[in-house]
Amino acid sequence: MALRIVVIVGASMAGGRAAETLRAEGFDGRIVLVGAEPDRPYERPPLSKELLRGELPSERVFLRPAEFYAEQQIETRYGIRAIGLDPDARVVELESGERIGYDALLIATGASPRRLQVPGTELEGIYYLRTLRDAERLRAALQAASRVVVVGAGFIGAEVAASARQMGLEVVLLEALAAPLLRVLGADVGHYYAQFHREQGVDVRLNAPVAGFRGQGRVEAVVLGDDQEVPCDLAVVGVGVVPEVAWLAGSGVALDNGVLADEWCRTNRPGVYAAGDVANWWHPRLGERLRVEHYDNAQNQGVAAARSILGRGEPYAPVPFFWSDQYDLTLQYVGHASHWDTTCRRGRPEDRSFIIFYLHQGRIRAALGVNRFKDVSAARRLIEAGVVVEPERLADESVELRRLLPR
Amino acid sequence: MATGSGQEGFVDVAAAADVYDDEPYGVKVNGQRVVLCKVDGQLYAVGGLCSHQYAELDEGELRGCVLMCPLHNSGFDVRTGQAIQLPATQPIPTYAVRVENGRVLVSLHPVTPG
């Protein structure tokens, strides 16, 4: 089938990078970029950091200047949701009533914050953070508040807690589990992070699941599982995200924890591709499915999907990468370790510069660095090369990591 | 980090012997951060800050002729300054560089690629 029209649903990092890649690769057909949000594609990382603290204006987060899309002849539909897909007729239906035919469709609808299902969530003053507009509203609320409770010590919660503290608020950080970031990073790193936040004056409470919110019209306190109350002017909830797939119900596109895709970003329906937070794709080198909710993947999988649409794709098998900035700590994680049998550490947390390696059967699966840039670069290459290495050598600071690479 | 003083539009920033292959070497030229990069024995000098967000490129890794940003993994071709790996899309400046009497001299006048 000739490729004349590519429709991208999701004016996101993945969708935006896909659109610009199609043009950069010489595609001269029609490109339609559809987004539920009112804005053109932007970077989300600053939303919980510089932008939230008022250090970065909103104009600085966009991937491209506003005129870029017109110059590149990329048609845009912002502030309009896709509500249906007919893969047999190859038509996407928008909430505006418009129906757009496609030769190739990229699903890049991302994910939405998981909502807490507890009493009191209808009260005012309870915030979630996903979009630029969410961040602008939360920024204004934080600027007017003196005490905030953050529910969930994952990356978003921890970054919001750090930013709020830097803005001078009293901050209580609640985590339902025994340590922040427990599932991804393990208990040791979680405890370091709890400690880092406490040193900055955050009241970190672990094993503290939320039972509800209390207030008269407006939240006045977060109620914990043991009926203890934590008073607040506002609450921010960061308890994960769920892939945005409701609009695909009944379309026949295979769904399971997102949109199922292969290493070419292809779904089970012809001409339909998926990329970014919404895609649960087969990673050929790892030999497992991954759904990654981070910037680097959204960007690179968007590019990979565009090339695949043009018939110039390669199997998408990256070493996953994400980072988180909290206070003066830059955390960087490379690789993917859903399980590991050994960890080892180079450097000391008390020096605020260390890297932890997660190994399985002798191979480095992932590494987490804090203020440890060169070692993270080296770790990425060691993971890529599938090097088998003794943990003692990884931990030994007298051994330069990149010397462990095969020559 | 070395700082040099100028002569005829070039400034002495380092001993050539101190710059190793595949080891980005940070210097200052006219108060600006610059990174010396040695690729297969050839010296290049580029602006020391990432064009994406504030990051000091001398902390990054040199992979062949590509200087990687330590923060978000953008990549720049040190021969041209062009951004060749996302998230950066804008180039970084390049500087003329030459070696005289074992010293590295860098032009005071960066060139920003189009």
Contact A303 B68 (CB under 8 A): no
Taking only the tens place, the pLDDT of each residue in A356-367 is 999 999 999 999
**pLDDT for the residue A402:** 84
Closest CA to A7 of A325, A272, A210, A250: A272
The position carrying tokens 């993917």 is A336
**pLDDT for the residue B7:** 54
Cα separation values, B55 from A62, B33, B67, B70, Å? 18, 11, 12, 7
Q: What is the mean pLDDT of chain A?
A: 96
User: Would strands A279-283 and A288-290 be described as parallel, antiparallel, or unpaired?
Assistant: antiparallel
**pLDDT for the residue A184:** 81
Q: What is this model's ipTM?
A: 0.86
For residue B39, what is the domain's CATH number? 2.102.10.10
Residue B26 touches partner A, C-beta closer than 8 Å: no
Taking only the tens place, the pLDDT of each residue in B24-69 is 999 999 999 999 999 999 999 999 999 999 999 999 999 999 999 9
Contact A374 B71 (CB under 8 A): no
Give the model's confidence band at B96: pLDDT under 50 very low, under 70 low, under 90 confident, else very high.
Answer: very high
**pLDDT for the residue B114:** 66
H helical segments located in A144-284? 155-166, 182-199
Contact A43 B87 (CB under 8 A): yes
With respect to residue B73, please indicate whether it lies within any of the assigned structural domains: yes
pLDDT at A7 over 50: yes
**pLDDT for the residue B1:** 46
- Give the neighbor-by-neighbor strand order of the sheet with A363-370: A321-326, A329-335, A363-370, A353-360, A342-348
DSSP assignment string, A350-377: GGTEEEEEEEETTEEEEEEEES-HHHHH
Nearest CA in chain A to B87: A299
Contact A43 B70 (CB under 8 A): no
Chain B residue numbers touching A43 (CB-CB < 8 A): 87
Give φ, ψ of A32 to 5 degrees.
-120, 120
Cα separation values, A235 from A121, A123, A210, A229, Å? 10, 10, 11, 13
The number of folded domains in chain B is 1
Taking only the tens place, the pLDDT of each residue in A321-366 is 999 999 999 999 999 998 899 999 999 999 999 999 999 999 999 9
Positive or negative: CA dihedral A306, A308, A311, A317: positive
Chain A residue numbers touching B59 (CB-CB < 8 A): 373-374
What architecture is domain A115-239? Answer: 3-Layer(bba) Sandwich (3.50)
Taking only the tens place, the pLDDT of each residue in A185-194 is 888 899 999 9
CATH of domain A328-404: 3.30.390.30
Taking only the tens place, the pLDDT of each residue in B6-28 is 457 999 999 999 999 989 999 99
Residues 160-219 of A with CB under 8 A from B: none
Determine the distance from the C-alpha atom of residue A42 to the mean position of all C-alpha atoms in its chain, rounded to a whole number. 13
Range of the structural domain that residue B14 is part of: 2-107
**Tokens of residue A257, six digits:** 């924890």
Positive or negative: CA dihedral A368, A373, A377, A378: negative
**pLDDT for the residue A185:** 87
Structural element, H or E, at residue B52: none
d(CA B99, CA B27): 15
- DSSP structural state of residue A196: H
d(CA A253, CA B101): 67
Q: Tell me whether residue A352 is exposed, middle or buried, using C-beta atoms within 10 angstroms of its C-beta: 0 to 12, 13 to 18, 19 or more.
A: middle
Cα separation values, B31 from A229, B11, B47, B55, Å? 54, 11, 11, 16
Nearest CA in chain A to B24: A374
d(CA B43, CA B41): 7
**Tokens of residue B108, six digits:** 């005071």
pTM over 0.80: yes
d(CA B101, CA B99): 7
The position carrying tokens 């040193």 is A199
- Of A103-107, A325-329, B2-6, the range with the lowest mean pLDDT is B2-6
Q: Best of A56, A321, A377 to disrupt the B interface by mutation (most B CBs within 10 Å)? A: A377
Quote the percentage of chain A above a pLDDT of 90. 94
**pLDDT for the residue A147:** 98
d(CA A290, CA A269): 19
Determine the distance from the C-alpha atom of residue A171 to the mean position of all C-alpha atoms in its chain, rounded to a whole number. 23
> What share of residues in chain B are helix, strand, coil (percent, to 5)?
5, 50, 45
With respect to residue B112, please indicate whether it lies within any of the assigned structural domains: no
Instruction: Return residue ranges of chain A for CATH 3.30.390.30.
Output: 328-404
Q: Best of A44, A321, A374, A380 to disrupt the B interface by mutation (most B CBs within 10 Å)? A: A374
Determine the distance from the C-alpha atom of residue B98 to the mean position of all C-alpha atoms in its chain, rounded to a whole number. 13
- DSSP structural state of residue A60: G
d(CA B27, CA A396): 29
Angle between helices A182-199 and A155-166 in degrees, nearest 10: 10
Type of residue at A391 = P
Instruction: Return residue ranges of chain A for CATH 3.50.50.60.
Output: 5-112+242-309, 115-239
Give the model's confidence band at A273: pLDDT under 50 very low, under 70 low, under 90 confident, else very high.
Answer: very high
Contact A323 B71 (CB under 8 A): yes
Closest CA to A355 of A336, A369, A343, A374: A369
pLDDT at B99 over 50: yes
Taking only the tens place, the pLDDT of each residue in A224-255 is 999 999 999 999 999 999 999 999 999 999 99
Note if the bond before B87 is cis, omega within 30 degrees: yes
Give the model's confidence band at A44: pLDDT under 50 very low, under 70 low, under 90 confident, else very high.
Answer: very high
Chain B residue numbers touching A298 (CB-CB < 8 A): none
CB-based contacts of B69, cutoff 8 Å, min separation 6: B50, B52, B55, B57, B60, B75, B76, B88
Fold (topology level) of A5-112+242-309: FAD/NAD(P)-binding domain (3.50.50)
pLDDT at B4 over 90: no
Taking only the tens place, the pLDDT of each residue in A277-324 is 999 999 999 999 999 999 999 999 999 999 999 999 999 999 999 999
**pLDDT for the residue A181:** 87
d(CA A53, CA A178): 28
Determine the distance from the C-alpha atom of residue A67 to the mean position of all C-alpha atoms in its chain, rounded to a whole number. 27
Taking only the tens place, the pLDDT of each residue in A163-201 is 999 999 999 999 999 998 887 888 889 999 999 999 999
